[in-house]
Structure 1
């Protein structure tokens, strides 16, 4: 359902999804998420947009970047093209339209991260 009514019933039902069979197994096809902008933060990147992510930021940043029509990457360390080993690139530059180099102070400021210490 796309929308429910006040009593918990379906007010507006979604149209049926397309189903196709591949190798004898039926799959429901779903349209990909496409966003106008994607904002990602990388540990290292070059001006061509090749990015290297640090630790758990590899989980969703590459996928978010691929979903954006325009992807803006904040990089903590901007290096010259060719300095990143091609095998180390986590997201190729074809998915990145803008690269913003952070100052050392901005790179150190990670508001989302919280340090926890067990006693």
Structure 2
């Protein structure tokens, strides 16, 4: 019987190796698998390459992973934020590498990784510092930059609900990077608010089919990044 529901986040993340490339879903707080990231800290893997839209906020989730010194390199679109002091401090101290990628290009590089496309041309970033050292070609009179696909050893994503086979549905904008990351990793681990019986999910509403998911972790009441940041602000103001 196929049953991908893990007993705990620790069980789901067992075996992630040092040096792994980890795709982490989320756009700010929306779709951010905070509990899985915290479990990754407890798991102990080091020297990680992390792919995420942001660089973490406050001292929770990805920011806590960075603070623990587990990340060697971050590939992201928005490394600066009002509460991004952890990444800022590490980067200024030369303790973490950064690969800055325009957001649409980041999403397409991950999608290409899931589709088996090794590289593609895009006009985004042509003529800027982000194109330095990359192959360029001109199409229809416009310069394009060759961008390579991104694949991960592991993807940590957040969905709204799953069945025991690992079929996933998302909640509105919380879908963001999760669906493409699930296709672009050797092992995808999803945290969900609800686990439902087989047949309860409308097949037409399933965004990520079970074939892309290795483990599901039920987290009915995930931590709120927003509440954590508010508490941090209050502490700084006290």
Q: Considering only aligned residues, what root-mean-square deviation do their CA atoms show, in Å?
A: 2.7
> Which of residues 209, 214, 221 is equivalent to 1:92?
209
- Indicate the structure with greater helix content: 2
Q: Deviation at 1:61?
A: 1.1
The match for 1:109 is 222
Q: What does the per-residue CA deviation read over 1:3-35, in whole Å, with 9 as the maximum and x for residues that have no partner?
A: xxxxxxxxxx73636x6x8xx899765332101
Query: What is the match of residue 47 of structure 1?
Result: 164
**Aligned match of 2:176:** 59
- Alpha-carbon deviations, 1:63-118, whole Å to 9, x = none? 1222211000111110122210101112111111111122xxxx22332345xxxx
Large movers: runs of 4+ above 6 Å: 24-27
Question: Structure 1: which 5+ residue stretches go unaligned?
Answer: 1-12, 115-119
Match of 1:14 among 133, 140, 149: 133
Report how many aligned residue pairs link the two structures.
97
Larger strand proportion of the pair? 1
Bigger Cα Rg: 1
**Which of these residues, 41, 51, 72, is aligned with residue 189 of structure 2?**
72
Q: In 2, Cα distance between the equivalents of 1:89 and 1:25?
A: 41
